[in-house]
Amino acid sequence: MVSLKLQKRLAASVLKCGKRKVWLDPNEITEIHNANSRQNFRKLIKDGYVIRKPNKIHSRARVNKRAEAKRKGRHMGFGKRRGTREARFPSKIIWMRRMRVLRRLLKKYRESDKIDKHLYHQLYNKVKGNEFKNKRVLMEHIHKEKAEILRAKQLKKEGEYRRARAAAKRARAAEKEAEKQKKLLEGTA
């Protein structure tokens, strides 16, 4: 068996690949052995005596299958976990996401005039103080708060109306009393 080290190197250089990717036809050893220039190898490549081997297949099928199972929650039990709960999903990230969701909701409500700036400020601080665990709870609280404000306004209105009526009644009574006094004075005179 003749050494084809030089030929392998030249072929690899012409094919622009590594030496391990070069295939030399075992039936044409003598012709390949006599080739000692890149020009000769271009001819051999054209004739099909020297070929670049195809790339090996590196299948991801198993990886994809496992990733699909992991998305469903398989292979994720206690035995597979290496980091602490905090390292795997920091509570700070959870907090930040919650804050952003709740603050975004408050901002949207304020811009659409569902809440005024005073209620916005009050709720903003309550959100910061960890009073609402999610969006639903905050929305429920907003509805309750708005109903409460409406009720207070209604009560205030009713109170003012009652006071006005009472004042008018008192004024009428005082007028009557004054008229009575006037008649009495006229009667005596």
With cut-offs at 50, 70 and 90, classify the pLDDT of residue 137. Answer: very high
Q: For residue range 19-74, what is the model confidence (pLDDT) as tens digits?
A: 999 999 999 999 999 999 999 999 999 999 999 999 999 999 999 999 999 999 99
Average pLDDT over residues 123-147: 96
Record the pTM: 0.62
Which residue is it, tokens 């306004």?
153
Which residue is it, tokens 């080290």?
5
Q: For residue range 97-112, what is the model confidence (pLDDT) as tens digits?
A: 999 999 999 999 999 9
pLDDT in the model for residue 189: 60
According to DSSP, residue 189 is labeled -
Q: How far apart are CA 14 and CA 41, in angstroms?
A: 7
pLDDT in the model for residue 188: 73
- Residue of 121, 122, 129 whose CA lies nearest to 99: 129
Q: For residue range 76-91, what is the model confidence (pLDDT) as tens digits?
A: 999 999 999 999 999 9
Q: For residue range 7-31, what is the model confidence (pLDDT) as tens digits?
A: 999 999 999 999 999 999 999 999 9
Whether residue 22 contacts residue 15, with contact meaning beta carbons closer than 8 Å, is answered with: yes
